Amino acid sequence: MSLDLGIVLPTRNERDNLPSLVTRVEEALGREGWEIVVVDDDSPDGTADVARDLARSDPRVRVIQRFGRRGLASAAIEGMCATAAPFVAVMDADHQHDPALLPAMLAAVEAGECDVAVASRFVTGGSAAGLASETREKGSRLANRLARKVTGVELTDPMSGYFLLRADRLRAAAPRLSGIGFKILLDLLATADPPMRVKEFPLEFAARASGESKLDTAVAFEFLVGLYDRSFGRVIPSRFALFGTVGAVGVAVHMAVLWLLFRLAGEGFALATVFATFAAMTFNFWLNNRLTYRDARLVGGLAWLKGWAGFCATCSVGALANVATATLLEARGVFWVLAALAGIVIGSVWNYALSSCFVWGRY
């Protein structure tokens, strides 16, 4: 029997979910005509090794293990482009997405009823009961409203991570996809030309079988990055905008420390500026590591400490320029707030260029 459907599973710490999910896919689709492509972001729990164990006894399972990069959207793109099947589906490996929907979704796209079949939690007959809390469900609905404005497509669940389409349509759109964020469907619908016709299928969103949810605060932030990238990414690159946003928050830290030391504690402006600069640098390193360079995040105490030291070292020239500029301007009568801001602007360009290159390796 020929290969009809490639099922892409982006994974991160899903080792306990994979064997039973393969069984459920077989129950839904039969023994032939499909393959599973596991795209694992170097899970520390050994998910890729479990997938390889499955592949040794089951040729329908293939594995792509990625190093030095992370993200659901980019993993989904790589997996969909790696299969030779004429139809591709993306779904989670945590059993929240029911494989029983796959035959109907495939039949709809194959028959030309739609360009992309989407499993929806919010269409009539669907359920979002598997979301961890009422707050998560409300947040998901808000994200859906924002996503509809960006894509221009009327969907009940444009944030769905479970969908199916023709592989050639995906490959045609792939060069224009940003791969940023955690919901590739949003990117795909906003990029497709001509626009894709969509049909929704009711999904009863189940609770996770095991493991932890990927929807931490940083992933929620990636959703906003995805919206930004689709709207303004061609004007100002998303990573630079993120770095600048973190820097803007760092300004508040800088100014707060400077105010405490200079205005309240009575320290000299130069010394207060030095302490404020290094406080802001430390804060910026932590937040950039958490958000801007999430795909190359430094983890573990030693790696974090070395990264912080590298960040401070590569930013040292920018820090000196910051301090020198601010001190000179303040000594010449410039209001201390404006003097401090001028120093921050001078140092920021250097900080971005060198830290991207030498701390997180984003050449």
Q: Are residues 153 and 266 in the same domain?
A: no
pLDDT of residue 336: 86
Is residue 286 assigned to a domain? yes
Model confidence pTM above 0.85: no
pLDDT of residue 122: 82
pLDDT of residue 219: 52
Q: How confident is the model at residue 360 (pLDDT cuts 50, 70, 90)?
A: confident
Q: Which residues contact 313 (CB under 8 A, 6 or more apart)?
A: none
Determine the Cα angle at 322 with ends 317 and 323, to 5°. 100
Tell which of 190, 215, 232 closes a domain.
232
Q: Are residues 71 and 210 in the same domain?
A: yes
Mean pLDDT of 195-223: 67
Most confident listed range (86-100, 126-140, 282-296, 309-323)? 86-100
Pick from 77, 96, 101, 98: nearest CA to 88? 77
pLDDT of residue 104: 96
Query: Distance of CA 132 to CAs 38, 99, 146, 212, Å?
Result: 25, 21, 21, 11
Q: What percent of the chain has pLDDT over 90?
A: 33
Range with the lowest mean pLDDT among 88-92, 207-211, 254-258? 207-211
Position 63 pLDDT exceeds 70 = yes
Mean pLDDT of 125-151: 61
Position 144 pLDDT exceeds 70 = no
Q: What percent of the chain has pLDDT over 70?
A: 81
The residue that leads in pLDDT, 107 or 213, is 107
Is residue 363 assigned to a domain? no
Tell which of 211, 232, 253 closes a domain.
232
Position 111 pLDDT exceeds 70 = yes
Q: How confident is the model at residue 121 (pLDDT cuts 50, 70, 90)?
A: confident
Is residue 192 assigned to a domain? yes
Tell which of 188, 203, 232 closes a domain.
232
Coil, strand or helix: which one is 200? strand
Q: Are residues 172 and 242 in the same domain?
A: no
Q: Are residues 38 and 100 in the same domain?
A: yes
Position 341 pLDDT exceeds 90 = no
Mean pLDDT of 124-138: 63
Determine the Cα angle at 24 with ends 22 and 28, to 5°. 115
Parent domain of 180: 5-232
Pick from 300, 260, 304, 271: nearest CA to 286? 304
Is residue 247 assigned to a domain? yes
pLDDT of residue 363: 43
The residue that leads in pLDDT, 81 or 160, is 81
Q: Are residues 181 and 301 in the same domain?
A: no
Is residue 154 assigned to a domain? yes
pLDDT of residue 337: 87
Range with the lowest mean pLDDT among 9-23, 83-97, 119-133, 224-238? 224-238
Is residue 249 assigned to a domain? yes
C-beta atoms surrounding 106 within 10 Å: 19
Mean pLDDT of 38-52: 93
Is residue 185 assigned to a domain? yes
pLDDT of residue 170: 92
Q: Are residues 251 and 222 in the same domain?
A: no
Q: Are residues 137 and 12 in the same domain?
A: yes
Mean pLDDT of 97-118: 95
Q: Are residues 174 and 287 in the same domain?
A: no
Mean pLDDT of 347-355: 77
CATH number at residue 35: 3.90.550.10
Going 221 to 224 to 229 to 235, the CA torsion angle's sign is negative
Count the domains in the chain: 2
Query: SS3 for 106-125, per residue?
Result: HHHHHCCCCCEEEEECCCCC
Q: Which residues contact 35 (CB under 8 A, 6 or more apart)?
A: 3, 5, 6, 7, 60, 61, 62, 83, 85
Q: Are residues 101 and 166 in the same domain?
A: yes
Q: Are residues 133 and 63 in the same domain?
A: yes
- Could you report the per-residue pLDDT of 324-337, keeping only the tens digit for each? 888 988 898 889 88
Q: Are residues 226 and 244 in the same domain?
A: no
Q: Are residues 220 and 253 in the same domain?
A: no
Is residue 133 assigned to a domain? yes
